Every structure is written in structure tokens, then in C-alpha cells.
Amino acid sequence: MVTEKKEELRITDKEEQLKIIGMHCATCVMSVSKSLKSVSGVKDAEVNLATGSAKVILSGNVRLKELVKAVRKAGYDVATEKFTVKLNVNPEEMPKIERKFENVKGVVDVKSNPGLGIVSVEYNLESTTPEEILKEAGVKGEIINEQRSERSVLYEDFYDLLKRLVIGITFTPLTYLFPFFLGILLSIPVQFYSGLRFHKGAYRALKNRTTNMDVLVSLASNILWFSGIFLHSTFYADASLLITFILVGKTLEAYIKAKMSSEIRIEPYKATLKDGRVVNSNELKVGDIIIVRTGERIPADGIIESGEGEVNEAILTGEQKPVLKRKGDNVLAGGILVNGYLEIYVTRNWDRSYIIQVIESVRGAYNARVSIQNLVDKVSSVFVPIVITLSALTFLVWKFVLGYNLYSSLLFSVAVLAAACPCALGLASPMAMLVSVRRALKRGIIIRDGSILEEIRNVNVAVLDKTGTVTEGEYVIITKKEFINGAFDLATIAESRSIHPIAKAFHKIMNDGKVEQFEEFPGRGIYARVNGNDVIVGSKDFVKSNCDWNVEDEGDILICVNGRAGGIVNIRDKLRDDAKRVINYMRERGIRVIIATGDSSNYADEIGKELGVEVRKGLTPDDKAELVKELRENDNKVMFIGDGINDAIAMREADVGIAVSSGTDLAKSAGKVVINSLDDVIGLFEQAKLGVRKIKENLAWAFGYNTVIIPIAAGSFYPTIYLPPEYAALAMGFSSVIVSLWSLVPI
Amino acid sequence: MIIDPVCGMEVDEKSQYKTMYKGKVYYFCSSYCLKEFQKNPEEYLRGGPKGMPHGH
């Protein structure tokens, strides 16, 4: 009957309602509907323009994530929300918990951080709520919000463990000192209060049909405690010592986790308003004027209203050398005014400040998974049952094959339970990831997706944007020629509306005029109506296809006035100092380097020649994305390094997208990694190498530890080496600590 | 009001989907229409909008 019901459920169609963002016409409806229907398992999709929603009928086992991905790929978006939850589970249980969340209706994506016990869930607003998701998944946890920060939850966890440890330390020695009955009484607080976490954890795991470290600890301590009572032995005291020893390791581990989490958090700074009032930086409003004196930290993002001084922005850029800032310059919260006096006009709220954006981004990176983790997850899922079997075998061999007494056989088998540690396996990769991402941040490299640490090592093609990445991005006009008088002036006025680096070369020559209409075509050029004239300025192809170009001269930039050749301009841009070094470094790693640029001038070829790399010029942002796509289709692992905003599409298309940030708005940058200068690419490769090595070393520690300690605990080397259960437990607790600490060692 | 030359929908001048052809700016409702136009501008300029749907 039950089977029948299950069958029935499997074939029933499911329905999912999505809120689509960005649709404004019938074509959009067609595009969204087409992309949804292209996902295998989607039976039908009804997209409604008026309500901005889509009803999707699913016949197969389709992940909501696939639907969202399809909509996003078509250039639209799905309204989703995220929530973070702190779970009281062991790292090795995380994959199973993740799967539970993934199977709940309405869940788009799940990312977990086994290291911190935190899960972040992206869900469909239209079909569920965080509470419903937790209920459906059958998982108990605390939703983290502003009132209950991740840090406070982690510290609470640490204090809870500490409390239980103190009880353990207080009572355990007494259980050995006092005679049998009193000893048992004194062991009760340790066994059933200090050890309650493990018993509860074991019960929860078994109820969820999984196994974890708690099962081993609970089983080991309970076997000892109860057999102590029945066999009239001091095993109950050994059980107390076992729990206390495990708690030592667990408390230390919880402390490291809490400490790691709080280090990435930034408390609001103190800010002095111009009228002398001192407030917290999160109370500042846009438009406030604040005063910063020598030695003080800049409390908000803003523009210098008056004064000047040297600012150390190492916290944001990794660069220790202070930068001189004057009236009109941007300053960012977090920088330190080394010397000088500044009055700053606040331009951004604390929550939107650059430093908070960085922290938010980096937090996301912690949750990344590396490929080796799949193997670890598989091992973890069968680890505990195998250990329990080994423990039972140990007992049987010692008791019935080797003929030892009940006491000794029991001690060996319990020692096996107490020594094996799946926790270290679960912690190995996330801890190393956490440390690597943070270490990169200290160098000014913002890693927004930790998985790139692994991916970057396989990169064999690097596509680099030219302007602003390989070159300084500051164009200067070196020659100009006019075929129509005043054409250059008209072009200058038109370009004054553009923020493109080439346009800035024109800006340097001040000019007044009225721009009636303005249109920019990214990567190609601009059209403007200036003082009643139609002006087109841009690349050769763009201008020539829109103009009656009747002259032979060709420059880097063409100017067309009222449909006729107006003039030409030749431009130059300086190569960055670090470009050669970085490109050589990549070539030494066997990476093919291509410069992709929208610039169609001869200068692009010169740059290519100087650096000795391929050049693809005159490309629009779409062309660059197409190039990346093409390279990937030919089995290449492609890295794209470019400007954070203009090259967003190519960056998303690449395996590793790196944005060289020139702006201060991180949210706009599409790269998985954000760097301050091209030079940071070398740092990133080094960090990736170290990070992946750490993951491997941690796993070697964890696997190696279990391989060595389990046979010893089972008594294979008895009587030369022998491990009583309580000391096996101590070793178990410390294996996780070792893995955490080893992640922190910078070698 | 500006009309998308491919599907005939009304479009806003602020539309991010636009192109310049023979010195004139054209606006579109989506990247789909823009790409269709770029493939064969003359077909739409001479024959007018083809309406919905268009060969999806």
C-alpha cells in the first residue's frame, strides 16, 4: 500500500510558481517561457506578463535551481530570498542535511559551511518560508538575523560546551576518589549533563537515519557507564573521563570557530560629526559631515569636503603604503588617516559601505565546496557504521578468539569507538577554505566563491581585457585631423556624456555645448545630437557602417558629422608596469594568454606585440563573452580578467572571472574574484596553491589519524602500545583541533 | 512612442537593447528582438514588424 502511494506521488505532476523580474513585453514572455521549457522535465510553463509570474508544470525530478538558472541565462531574474541558519550538527552530517534542504519544495540553492555549522538557503518567495523549509526538512536550527548574529550563536555554542567541560573537570576526579556507590552518583552529572550533547546528537542522528561522531561518543560512554554498574568496576569513572576529554577538544574547536567567525566581522566605528557629537558609523546618514583626525579610522564612505591627509587603506586593498587624499577625493570606511585632517561628506550608509560589501562577499565564499569533498562525504557517510562494526569485531576477537576476559575485551572495543573521528574529515576542507579566503583578503584579494581556489589551478587559457587591465586605462589623444571644421569640438561635447575611458581623453579638452540626445553602444561608440548636429564617434566599423565615409584617412577613432566623414583621432594608452610580469608568470605556468579588447586601433596590435601575446580587437562585450564561450567549448578552462562592470558577461561566462576593481561598488562587479591590480593575479595563484595543499594536508591528517589510531585502539600492538578508552577519546577530540590549527599555519 | 521594429511592441527610449543602423538608432524590447534585427535589418525595415510570435 505504502509502495503504491509512493509510486503515485512520483508520477504526479508538480507545480512551481516563480516571480520573474525584468519582463516588459510579449517577447520577454516568449523568451522566459522558451528558456523554462528548455529545461528537461518541464512539461509546461505559463508566463504571465501582467503579474510578472510563471507557472511551471514539472513532470520529472527537476531541481528548482535549474529553472532559476534558465531564467537568469535568458537575461531575466527570479525573485528569491536567502536565510542563514545555525545548526547543531557535526561537520560530517552536513552533506546529508544539505540534501534534505535541497529536496524541500521551493528551495533554489543550499550552501553549507560545515566548519561553522552554518547553512545558507536560497528559496522561492512564492512558494515557501524559512520556517516551512526547516519544518519540511525536519531540521532544527536557529535562523540567524540581525538580532542573533552568527558570531553570538557560535560563542553561545562555545560557552555551552565550556559549562559542560567545567562540570566534567570538577566531578571526574571525584568519581575516581570515592568508593563505588558515591562514585556512581558523582559520575551522573558528567554522564548525563556534560555528555547530554552527545546523547542528544546521537538520538537526533539515528532518528534521521544517519550516524555521526555523537553516536560513537554516546555509545562508548554508555557502554562503559552501564557496564561499570553491572560489572561493579570503575568503568563509570572511565566514562566520565572519556566525556571530559572529548569535551576538551570540542570546546577548543568551538572557540576556534567562534574566533574565526568574529574576526571577519566589523563593528561600526566611532564617528565625530562636525557639530562635535560622537555617534556610531551605522547611525550616520548620507549628507552628514564628519571630522577625522590623525590616527583615526575613517568611519564612512564619502568624499573629502575639506582638508587633506595620507590614508592607509591596507584593510581594503592590502597596500600598506598610505595614499595622499585631497578635497574631492573618495575615501572608504576602514582606512586610517595616518596624518592630516579631513572633513568628509558621507555618501553611503554603513550597510552599503564598501567594507561591508566585501565582508558579505567573502562570507559567501566560505561555503564553497571542492571536488575532493565528494569523496570525503562518501567516506563520512559510511565511516561510523564501519567503526561500530570494527568495534564489535574487536570485542568478539578478544573475547572468543583470543580468549581474554570480558573487561579487557570490552575496553578494547570501546576504545575503538572512542578513538575514531569522522569530525576531522568533515572539518578538513572547510577550515582550510575559510583560512585561505581570509588570507587572500588580507592581501586585498576578495574571493567571492571559494571553489575558484581549485578551479584556477586547471586554467589553461587566460583572456585579458586591455583597457584598464593590461594598460593604465588613461587614454591620451596623440594626433587629430578634421575634414569638417569643428568636428572635433562636436565630438568632445558628445563624449562629455560618456564614462568610457576613451571618452575621458576627450574630456581633458574643455568644451561647452548642448547635447540634445545621447546614446551609447558599449564597445562600439556613441551617437549624440549636439547643437543640432548628428554626431557619431567610435570604432572604424561602427562609424563606417553608419556614415558616408568618403575619405581615405583612417584613425583609431572616427568622427561622423551629419552623415559625413568629420575627422579622425589617434589615441594611446600606457602599458601597466606589472602587465609584463603577470603575463610572463602565466605563460610560465603554460597558460595561453589572449588580449581581448573593444579597442580597434593599431595601438592594440602594438600592445600585443610588446607583450608577445595574441590580440583580438574591436570586440563588443558580447563578442568577448562569445570568445570565452567558444574557448570553453573547445575543452579549455578559461580565466577572464577584466573590468568589473563592462566585462560582466564575459566574466560570468568564464570558469574563473576576475574583476580588477577600479570602482568602489563591489555589488556591481561580476567576478568571482575581485583584485586591486593585475599583480594580484600572481598572489591569487599562490594562495590557491597553498589553499588546495592545505585541504589535502588536512585530509591526510584526518585519514592518517584514523588509520593509525583505530588499530592501536583495537589492541593490535598490545601489550607494547595500548590505548585506554579515555585516552582514545582525548585523541579523538584533538584530531579536530589539529586540523583546525593546521589550517591556520601559513606554510 | 517608439516601436520595436521586430515585434511591433511599444518600447521605452531607456531600453538597454538598442543598435544603430545607417545612422539611425533603433530600440528593442529584448535581446531576442535585437539579435533578430541585427541578423537582417532590411527585412524588418522594409516589411515592418512581424508581430508575435516570431519563430521561437
Task: Check pLDDT > 50 for residue A5.
Answer: no
Task: Check pLDDT > 50 for residue A2.
Answer: no
Q: pLDDT: is A11 or A29 the higher one?
A: A29
The DSSP letter of residue B29 is S
| Mean of pLDDT values over A295-320 | 85
**Is any Cβ of chain B less than 8 angstroms from the Cβ of A545?**
yes
Residues of A in contact with B5 (CB under 8 A): none
Residues of B in contact with A519 (CB under 8 A): 18, 20, 25
* pLDDT score for A693: 92
Residues of B in contact with A28 (CB under 8 A): 29-30
The secondary structure of A92-147, three-state, reads: HHHHHHHHHHHCCCCEEEEEEECCCCEEEEEEECCCCCHHHHHHHHCCCEEEECCC
**Is any Cβ of chain B less than 8 angstroms from the Cβ of A536?**
yes
Task: Kindly give the interhelix angle for A422-442 and A354-366, rounded to the nearest 10 degrees.
Answer: 150
> pLDDT band for position A9 (50/70/90)?
very low
Residues of B in contact with A542 (CB under 8 A): 20
Is the distance from CB of A292 to CB of A335 less than 8 angstroms?
Answer: no
Nearest to A243, CA basis, from A745, A726, A744: A726
| Mean of pLDDT values over A605-632 | 89
For A275-289, A335-349, A596-610, A718-732, which range has the lowest pLDDT when averaged over its residues?
Answer: A596-610
Q: Give the closest-approach CA distance of B29 to chain A in angstroms.
A: 6
Question: Strand pairing partners for A537?
Answer: A526, A559
Q: In degrees to the nearest 10, what's the CA dihedral of A411, A415, A418, A421?
A: -160
**Is any Cβ of chain B less than 8 angstroms from the Cβ of A76?**
no
Q: Give the closest-approach CA distance of A626 to chain B in angstroms.
A: 14
* pLDDT score for A103: 84
The 10s digit of each residue's pLDDT in A321-334 is 888 898 888 888 88
* pLDDT score for A664: 62
Is the distance from CB of A292 to CB of A298 less than 8 angstroms?
Answer: yes
What type of residue sits at position A383?
Answer: F
d(CA A547, CA A643): 30
Taken as a whole, chain A contains a residue count of: 747
| Pairs across A and B, CB distance < 8 A | 54
Q: pLDDT: is A662 or A504 the higher one?
A: A504
The 10s digit of each residue's pLDDT in A226-278 is 999 988 888 899 999 999 998 988 898 888 878 877 666 677 888 999 888 99
Interchain pair A563, B23: CB under 8 A: yes
| Mean of pLDDT values over A313-321 | 76
A:130-159 residues touching chain B, CB 8 A cutoff: none
* pLDDT score for A382: 86
The 10s digit of each residue's pLDDT in A166-189 is 999 999 999 999 888 999 999 999
**Is any Cβ of chain B less than 8 angstroms from the Cβ of A542?**
yes
The 10s digit of each residue's pLDDT in A109-157 is 888 877 778 888 888 877 788 888 888 888 888 887 655 566 777 788 8
Judge residue A485's burial from the number of C-beta atoms within 10 Å of its C-beta, 0-12 exposed, 13-18 middle, 19 or more buried.
Answer: exposed
**Is any Cβ of chain B less than 8 angstroms from the Cβ of A546?**
yes
Query: Angle CA(A436)–CA(A438)–CA(A440) in degrees, nearest 5?
Result: 70
Interchain pair B33, A34: CB under 8 A: no
* pLDDT score for A290: 93
- Dihedral sign, Cα of residue A278, residue A282, residue A285, residue A290: positive
Residues of A in contact with B30 (CB under 8 A): 25, 27-28, 31, 75
Q: pLDDT: is B7 or A266 the higher one?
A: B7
* pLDDT score for A484: 93
| Mean of pLDDT values over A540-562 | 89
What type of residue sits at position A566?
Answer: G
Q: Give the closest-approach CA distance of A570 to chain B in angstroms.
A: 23
d(CA A205, CA A218): 12
* pLDDT score for B55: 41
- Cβ neighbors of A402 (< 8 A, separation 6 or more) are none
Number of H helices, E strands in chain A: 25, 28
Distances from the Cα of A488 to the Cα of A285, A303, A562, angstroms: 43, 33, 13
* pLDDT score for A8: 37
Residues of B in contact with A534 (CB under 8 A): 23
* pLDDT score for A667: 60
| Mean of pLDDT values over A200-226 | 86
Interchain pair A547, B23: CB under 8 A: yes
Mean of per-residue pLDDT scores for chain A: 85
Q: Give the closest-approach CA distance of A25 to chain B in angstroms.
A: 6
* pLDDT score for A460: 95
Q: pLDDT: is A394 or B36 the higher one?
A: A394
Question: Hey, of B1, B3, B20, B54, which one would you mutate to test binding to chain A, going by the most A CBs within 10 A of its CB?
Answer: B20
Residue with cell 579610522: A297
**Is any Cβ of chain B less than 8 angstroms from the Cβ of A28?**
yes
The 10s digit of each residue's pLDDT in A416-450 is 998 987 878 877 888 888 888 888 888 889 888 88
Residues of B in contact with A31 (CB under 8 A): 30-32
Q: Considering the entire predicted model, what is its pTM?
A: 0.71
For chain A, the 3-state helix, strand and coil shares in percent, each to the nearest 5, are: 50, 20, 30
d(CA A598, CA A616): 9
The 10s digit of each residue's pLDDT in A626-669 is 999 999 999 999 999 987 566 878 888 899 999 887 656 666 66
Task: Check pLDDT > 50 for residue A3.
Answer: no
The DSSP letter of residue A88 is -
* pLDDT score for A668: 61
Chain A's closest residue to B13, CA to CA, is A519
Residue A389: φ, ψ to 5°: -65, -45
* pLDDT score for A163: 96
* pLDDT score for A367: 65
Question: Hey, of A21, A24, A27, A517, which one would you mutate to test binding to chain B, going by the most B CBs within 10 A of its CB?
Answer: A27
d(CA A646, CA A522): 8
* pLDDT score for A213: 81
Is the distance from CB of A482 to CB of A488 less than 8 angstroms?
Answer: yes
| Mean of pLDDT values over A216-227 | 92
* pLDDT score for A1: 37
Residues of A in contact with B56 (CB under 8 A): 30, 34
| Mean of pLDDT values over A285-304 | 90
Task: Check pLDDT > 70 for residue A496.
Answer: yes
**Is any Cβ of chain B less than 8 angstroms from the Cβ of A522?**
no
Is the distance from CB of A93 to CB of A210 less than 8 angstroms?
Answer: yes
Which helix (H) or strand (E) element contains residue A47? strand A42-48
* pLDDT score for A201: 84
